[in-house]
Chain A
Amino acid sequence: MDRLLVVRCPDLLVDDEGGAGLRTLAGVLTAVEAYCPWVTAVRPGICSLPARGPARYFGGEDALVDLVRTAASAVTPAEVGIADGLFAAVLAARHGVVVPAGGTPTFLAPLPVGILGRSDLAELLDRLGVRTLGEFAALPDADILGRFGADGAHAHRVAGGRSGELADLRDPRTARLLDGGDPGGPVVAEPGFWGGASDADARAARCLATAQELLGPDGVVTAHLQGGRSPAERSRFVTWTDDGRPSARVADPGRGGPGPAPWPGRIPPPAPAVVHPDPVRAELADTRGEPVRVSSRGLLTLAPDRLSVEGGPWEPVSDWAGPWPADERWWSRSRRRAARLQAVTARSAHLLLVERGRWWVEATYG
């Protein structure tokens, strides 16, 4: 399960009509981006970032939490926490704690079932004398699906820390309003597939539903393409549903898209086959071991000679190209010197992102 850091801003949790809350949240994103460029707006007042890579950079998870809390608190009151999976991480932020890796079930156990936000389920469980997530999680799997349905079964997995997030935890509109770069418009499923008329379709739908029972709804997804500059921006993963449509929470069309955009700064094709879902820390150095940086004019300060990924051994860089200026999201107030670079080593070719002097492996031409 993803190790996530969540920033929770209590003053911004209510969706406001005028958009002041969103603008403030945008300020929080900008502030937090100083530590990790992969910040995602989850819903009003809440954003998250993958914790593993940045924690290694900043001397551990506690140090990262302190840095992010200080940065976000300069904008608005903010609570910060880390746990496995989004559901637990939001609660960890609420309590201002770092839940150790693997400790999520223990952390969740004493919390009331009402926290799942399913009042019918909570009422039912209350009648059975089940009041905490731990008690709920202890109920045998076999009894859950028949009694509480698919959503209940998934909530059961979340309560036990076996699945990371509830289906309605994310508000796609928030992310979209803040991203400002989604020309995709509504997601329309191609007619006649996922449970369509044919035998093969029905068979596939059945077995994928089985896999979803096993892994939770978000365990089975499909990829959809959209506009954007970076490889990560250009695809979107949508929870698979067998009613022939991607799930409504992502299919929400939101605003009409502006149509195809030129996306200046896009890396020329071919596209990388692997886009790392968590940022991978990297170091890039010249022949003397000096770190390579990008100048204010968008040029490399030194010629790259060697690359280290995730603190691994130095590998010679046989070839490289770039830098290309990386995207600046519209809310960024400060001008950032972010850029992308292609680097080839004996084993692989990577797309690197540099921001504020820190290098990340964003994608690999696997």
Chain B
Amino acid sequence: MFVSAPGRRLTRDLDPAALAALSALAERTRPVAASRTRLLPVLPALAGLLPDGALRRGSTLAVGGSGDDGALSLALSLVAAASASGSWCALVGHPGLGAVAARDLGVDLGRLALLPRPGPAWAEATAAVLEGVDLVVLCPPFPPRRDMARRLVARARERRGVLVVVPGRAGWPEPADLQLRIADAAWEGIDAGEGHLHRRRVTVTATGRRSAARPVHCGLWLPDADGRVSPADPPGAGG
């Protein structure tokens, strides 16, 4: 199902530490022409959530919340700066992208390929796209098998892409390098028939592995009144 790639055997058999060392070595020894920068940029409001202040190439992130409350918006916010700086991005498995919202969050729609309904071939399609696209947002349409998930994570690592998984109801059986959780979503602007949805305050908690194991909390307007993402003061602090 997957195109064979060098290193696949390695990624299965080696322990994570050896693997990390290997991929660091691979990064250093990669020919100059093929080496890309190590990081993809993110919007300033999100930098505090990420251990490097940016998206690390080769890593996998999981973005989730308890309901429909902002996971896709957060994933699109992660796409914004990368797409705007010329990176190719893709959204796999989400049939209902609100393109206006994506644009307002800062996504360059001209750099975002959509694979809205990949069906049963979703994992194969995601693997194909990871071959040449810097950042892939995946909303698995079906519950992924562990080996499928593992191979996609390995593919992202090998191809130096970033895989952002929005597990939704399908779930995601593999631990991610960084987990972003959304909590306490609260809309402002409407009240018993008056006004309109104005902005949503959320708290995003980032939990990582290794150096990023300590959770980081961050208050965001997602979106703010202009449809963008911006920092929010803690609740009650008058923001």
- A-B contact count, CB below 8 Å? 188
Please, which residue of chain B has its CB at the minimum distance from the CB of A269? B227
Query: Which residues of chain A are near B36, meaning CB under 8 Å?
Result: 200
Closest approach, in angstroms, between the C-beta of A293 and any C-beta of chain B?
A: 15
Residue-by-residue, is B29-40 near A (CB-CB < 8 Å gives 1, otherwise 0)? Answer: 000010010000
- Say whether A115 faces chain B, with CB atoms less than 8 Å apart: no
Question: How many whole Å from B102's CB to the nearest CB in chain A?
Answer: 7
Total A residues in contact with B, Cβ cutoff 8 Å: 57
CA distance A207 to B130 in the complex (A): 8
B41 contacts partner chain A, Cβ-Cβ < 8 Å: no
| Residue from B102, B133, B187, B189 within 8 A of A223 (CB atoms) | B102
- CB pair B197 A222 closer than 8 Å: no
1/0 per position for B216-239, CB-CB distance to A under 8 A? 000000011111000000000000
Interface string of B101-133 (1 = CB under 8 A from A): 111110001111111111101001100111111
A193 touches B110 (CB 8 A): yes
A366 touches B115 (CB 8 A): no
* Chain B: CB-nearest residue to A304: B193
Establish whether residues B95 and A270, one from each chain, have CB atoms under 8 Å apart when the complex forms. no
Q: Is A270 a contact of B111 with CB atoms below 8 Å? A: no
Say yes or no: A225-B103 contact (C-beta < 8 A), given A215-B121, A342-B196: yes
CA distance A2 to B116 in the complex (A): 12
A231 and B88 contacting across the interface, CB-CB below 8 Å: no
Contact B101 A319 (CB under 8 A): no
Task: Write out the residue numbers on chain A whose beta carbons fall within 8 Å of the beta carbon of B200.
Answer: 349, 365
Across-interface contacts of A275 in B (CB, < 8 A)? 96-99
Please tell me if A206 contacts chain B, counting CB pairs below 8 Å.
Answer: yes
Q: Given A269-B226, A342-B197, do A219 and B132 touch, yes or no (CB 8 Å)?
A: no
A274 contacts B96, C-beta separation under 8 Å = yes
- Judged by a CB distance under 8 angstroms, whether A139 is at the interface is no
A330 to B132, CA, bound (A): 45
Q: Shortest beta-carbon distance, B139 to chain A, in Å?
A: 10
B197 touches A207 (CB 8 A): no
CB-CB nearest in chain A for B90: A208
Distance in Å: Cβ of B161 to nearest Cβ of chain A:
10
- B33, B97, B200, B226 interface centre (most CB from chain A within 10 Å): B97
B76 within 8 Å of A by Cβ?
yes
Chain A residues with CB under 8 Å of B196's CB are: 267-268, 321-322, 342
With a CB–CB cut-off of 8 A, which chain B residues contact A274? 68, 72, 94, 96-98
Q: CB-defined interface of A132-154 with B at 8 Å, one 1/0 digit per residue?
A: 00000000000000000000000
Which residues in A have their C-beta under 8 angstroms from that of B113?
204, 208, 211, 220-222, 240
* B115→A215 contact, CB < 8 A: yes
Assess A234 versus B95: contact at CB under 8 Å? Given A211-B129, A223-B109: no
A-B CB proximity, top 4 nearest: A347-B67, A207-B132, A235-B99, A203-B132
Q: A199-B33, A200-B134, A320-B192 are in contact. List 14 more A-B contacts (CB 8 A).
A: A200-B36, A204-B88, A204-B132, A207-B131, A211-B115, A215-B121, A224-B109, A267-B196, A269-B225, A270-B199, A271-B101, A271-B104, A321-B197, A349-B197
